[in-house]
Amino acid sequence: MAEFIMELNDEQKEVRDWIHGFAAEVMRPAAAEWDEREETPWPVIQEAAKIGIYSLDFYAQQYFDPTGLGIPMAMEELFWGDAGIALSIVGTGLAAVGVLANGTEEQIGTWIPQMYGTPDDVKVAAFCSSEPDAGSDVASLRTRAVYDEAKDEWVLNGTKTWATNGGIAGVHVVVASVDPELGSKGHASFIVPPNTPGLSQGQKFQKHGIRASHTAEVVLEDVRVPGSCLLGGKEKLDERLARARERAKSGGERVKNAAMATFEASRPAVGAMAVGTARAAYEEALEYARTREQFGRPIIDNQGVAFQLADMRTSIDAARLLVWRASWMAVNGKPFTAAEGSQSKLFASETAKKVTAQAIQILGGNGFTREYPVERMHRDAAIYTIFEGTSEIQRLVIARTLSGMPIR
């Protein structure tokens, strides 16, 4: 087990600087344009693929970094560049994590490469969990998967919403109910291969922030996928369902469902995204405060501004440490006995909202215009307290973990 450290090693610093260079030279100059267009920035994704940032190999190297710091370091730098473009680059990763968390070795080797494509033919993937009536309340999920034993196929029906890359993805990973009586414990994840009949894009959402990232509904109408597309395989599913039924009868411990396994693995990464956006806004505000003069002196000479910047930097550093701790714990198989993953996501996302708002305040009227990037950063930061578990849900998870009580 790797020791928990609070400093990147030389190799990690080299990778960090490489990603930072891409974020500064390619992403930032394109950020305002793609935010206004509200379209997937395919040329930027392709540039990322050409240099190796958008690739299975890159994410595998960071994912399996024994220190746990590879992924959060990469996420922070990319989202420092621009949250909307960064989410277009890393959105496929959530689907990939879904396969890594629940799939067999064969499924991992078959499907994850197809999610990324090649630098000359870039692809994206989508993880489809939320529904119009089932966001935080995953037990209310209505998308059904029914097994057709005669054909060894699963038939999927339902509507997914808030799916990053939904409809434009090649590979979709869909969470569906196979046993509604078991609630969230009766869920399973399925691969829907490219060009599968019955899957279509529904409404594309026009969003407040992260507008360069494609978010849409995914409609499944009698979608048939081979039995091999059930992540983990049917034997493993049958065993898990049998245990869940037995525990339901005896009132025993709860078991994790497929969607929650994915979210638990990704929450520290979302925290790192929030840290990146917060850091970007802080740096803009700090530079502005140093150069903007009022009453014959830089505004940073005023305690009202300087103290805000001190609080901003302190919160950002604290958020990063919580993210790094949770990431190290996850990679090294240490249980989140105090919901450390949720802690990191909660604090970092709330920090991003607060810091970006403070940055606008420091810039004053300029901060409220699109001429300065803090306005966009503030809009982007709003998503961190919402997706992959709202702040309220994170607090609920933490409280339940600490108390052992079914707090509602």
* Other Cβ atoms within 10 Å of 183 Cβ, number: 17
Whether the pLDDT of residue 48 is over 70: the answer is yes
Q: How confident is residue 5, by pLDDT bands cut at 50, 70 and 90?
A: confident
State residue 136's pLDDT score. 66
Whether the pLDDT of residue 258 is over 60: the answer is no
Bridge partners (DSSP) listed for residue 226: 153
Do 284 and 373 form a contact (C-beta atoms < 8 A)?
yes
Whether the pLDDT of residue 253 is over 80: the answer is no
State residue 1's pLDDT score. 67
Q: How confident is residue 4, by pLDDT bands cut at 50, 70 and 90?
A: confident
**Distance between CA atoms of 251 and 231, rounded to whole angstroms?**
27
- Per-residue model confidence as pLDDT tens digits over 271-290: 999 999 999 999 999 999 99
- Name the DSSP letter for residue 122: E
Whether the pLDDT of residue 121 is over 50: the answer is yes
**Distance between CA atoms of 76 and 351, rounded to whole angstroms?**
14
State residue 184's pLDDT score. 85
Mean pLDDT (whole number) for 87-110: 93
- Per-residue model confidence as pLDDT tens digits over 197-245: 999 999 999 999 999 999 999 999 999 999 999 999 999 999 999 998 8
Measuring CA to CA, which residue among 222, 371, 232, 350 is closest to residue 288? 371
Q: Which residues are known catalytic residues?
A: 388
Do 382 and 390 form a contact (C-beta atoms < 8 A)?
no
Do 114 and 59 form a contact (C-beta atoms < 8 A)?
no
Mean pLDDT (whole number) for 94-123: 94
Do 212 and 84 form a contact (C-beta atoms < 8 A)?
yes
| Averaged pLDDT of the chain | 93
Q: How confident is residue 250, by pLDDT bands cut at 50, 70 and 90?
A: confident
Query: b/e per residue, 50-83, with b = 16+ CB within 10 A?
Result: eeebbbbebbeebbebebbbbbbbbbbbbbbbbb
- Percent above pLDDT 70 for the chain: 95
Mean pLDDT (whole number) for 118-128: 96
Whether the pLDDT of residue 41 is over 50: the answer is yes
Mean pLDDT (whole number) for 128-152: 88
The Cβ-side half-sphere exposure at 129, using a 13 Å CA radius, reads: 23
**Distance between CA atoms of 261 and 98, rounded to whole angstroms?**
8
State residue 65's pLDDT score. 92
- Percent above pLDDT 90 for the chain: 84
- Per-residue model confidence as pLDDT tens digits over 86-98: 999 999 998 998 8
Whether the pLDDT of residue 316 is over 50: the answer is yes
| Helices and strands: H and E segment counts in the chain | 13, 11
Whether the pLDDT of residue 158 is over 70: the answer is yes
**Distance between CA atoms of 256 and 99, rounded to whole angstroms?**
15
Measuring CA to CA, which residue among 236, 204, 235, 237 is closest to residue 219? 204
State residue 255's pLDDT score. 46
